[in-house]
A and B are shown apart, each in its own frame.
Chain A
């Protein structure tokens, strides 16, 4: 894995740059793994009858799984030296077992604040049904590759 690490530096990135798109299938197994991995046994995440009672069509991913996918989109692109300073996300519609996630992003702003080298990145998580979770992240990166 070490040999494959890609690192972006703040001084190499420009506003308008595209974040590499990531896709991931969401079979039932992943939704159940989500509940177990996050210790979130709210029944909408593992009980189809309860999900339907809520007005949902199927069991769905929880917020923590979506956060993890959003963060992965950011750090797969920028590299593991990224510190996620802020994440804002809206759950406009649920992501169900059987969906395929697609995470796409764009760099909105590059700036310095209090000695930190920051990027504001917009990441949209969608499925075949359309946009599900728009998110805005602030990422901190090393300014430049050290010689």
Chain B
């Protein structure tokens, strides 16, 4: 790498064998810093220009769902770590970031999510994430690395299951002669 970058989530480095040792070991349950709030819902919806009345109109949402609900696409945002906190270290809840492997970057490959119930304003999300598969080394058009599959279960503050997400990402490096 010829430039240095401000890495908000430093990756753990190690070997394929180190990664395999972490298979099927769920991480600690992480409770979201943010509660589900209308302000963040509106900012997200404005980003994708989604005028869905379930997110914008109390009258409609109350009648249809019993209250304003959160867009499904915001699911991963609620447990995100703050940029800075006076007492907590910045730490990504997403377990894939903590798996020791050689690659110095990542790209997401596939995401499958099953939704069981809505999140409502004021709800507090918690998540348990687990590494379920790690591939042997592969070469792709982006670089050389390993595919990681993780399974995350999201709950509300009543421990009701909100969603289950299976995610696949590629942890890789660009070989020197191609960078």
Contacts and interface: CB of A to CB of B under 8 A. Distances in A.
B107 A64 contact: no
Interface of B: 1, 3, 5-9, 40, 43-54, 56-57, 59-60, 64, 71-74, 76-77, 80, 83, 105-115, 118, 141-143, 174, 178-179
A87 interface: yes
A121 B45 CA distance: 22
Given A38-B80, A86-B112, 7 more contacts: A2-B53, A2-B57, A37-B46, A39-B77, A40-B80, A54-B142, A80-B53
Contacts of A36: 43
A72 B52 contact: yes
A144 interface: no
B119 to A, nearest CB: 12
Contacts of B6: 43, 47
Given A5-B53, A68-B47, A85-B114, A54 B8 contact: no
26 contacts: A1-B51, A2-B57, A5-B53, A24-B49, A30-B47, A33-B46, A36-B43, A37-B46, A41-B83, A53-B5, A53-B105, A54-B105, A64-B73, A65-B73, A68-B50, A70-B73, A76-B51, A76-B52, A80-B60, A84-B72, A85-B114, A86-B114, A86-B115, A89-B111, A91-B108, A91-B110
Contacts of B72: 67, 71, 84, 87
A131 B6 CA distance: 32
A64 B112 contact: no
Contacts, number: 143
Nearest to B170: A91
Contact of A49 (B5, B54, B143): B5
Interface string A52-91: 0111000000111101111110011000110111111111
Contacts of B83: 41
A2 B53 CA distance: 7
Given A43-B5, A53-B5, A67-B73, A87 B113 contact: yes
A37 B64 contact: no
